[in-house]
Amino acid sequence: MDLTERISRMIEPSMTDMGYDLVRVTINGKRQLTVQIMADPSDGRDMGIDDCAKVSRMVSALLDVEDPIKEAYSLEVSSPGVDRPLTRIKDFDQWSGFEARVEMAEPIAGRRRFSGRLRGTDGDVVKIDVEDEQVALPFAGIAKAKLLLTDELIAWTTKNRQVEG
């Protein structure tokens, strides 16, 4: 298990207990490591500054106790943002109808990158309309995926924004 996965497994139960979904953990840097935690409130509202501070304090305490990183590091906690990464299968259902870019670990029908309108999931398969054709992508084979920043997404996000803290 790599360090990113270890940290994810370490912090996710506490985040869930606090009312947050873990979206993604990344570790960047060579000289000074930066641990980036991306979180979302479970109740669907937007992640505010107070939310980031709460998650940061909890994650910092867990990392201090468990000590999975032996060298100095910086901790950053943020919201996923408007053009958020899609990391969980439920994300593809939640954001169905919006434009996304999906990159596969291995080519499917000669392609690794697919851009189009999300159409939800069917079991463990993500459906996306690409150039007037619906493509089925196995969730397990997705290397990375994110929403595309469009006027439609910005308008929807602005209309539905609910921030606390």
pLDDT, tens digit (0-9, with 9 covering 90-100), for 56-74? 999 999 999 888 888 889 9
CB neighbour burial string for 68-81, b if at least 16 within 10 angstroms, e if fewer: eeeeeeebebbbbe
Model confidence at 105: pLDDT above 80: yes
Percent of the chain surpassing pLDDT 70: 97
Place 18 in a pLDDT band, splitting at 50, 70 and 90.
Answer: very high
Domains of the chain with CATH codes = 3-78 (3.30.300.70), 89-148 (2.30.30.180)
pLDDT (0 to 100) of residue 165: 45
Percent of the chain surpassing pLDDT 90: 75
**Residues contacting residue 25 through CB under 8 Å, at least 6 positions apart:** 4, 7, 8, 11, 35, 36, 37, 38
Model confidence at 54: pLDDT above 80: yes
Model confidence at 31: pLDDT above 90: no
pLDDT, tens digit (0-9, with 9 covering 90-100), for 152-164? 988 888 887 655 4
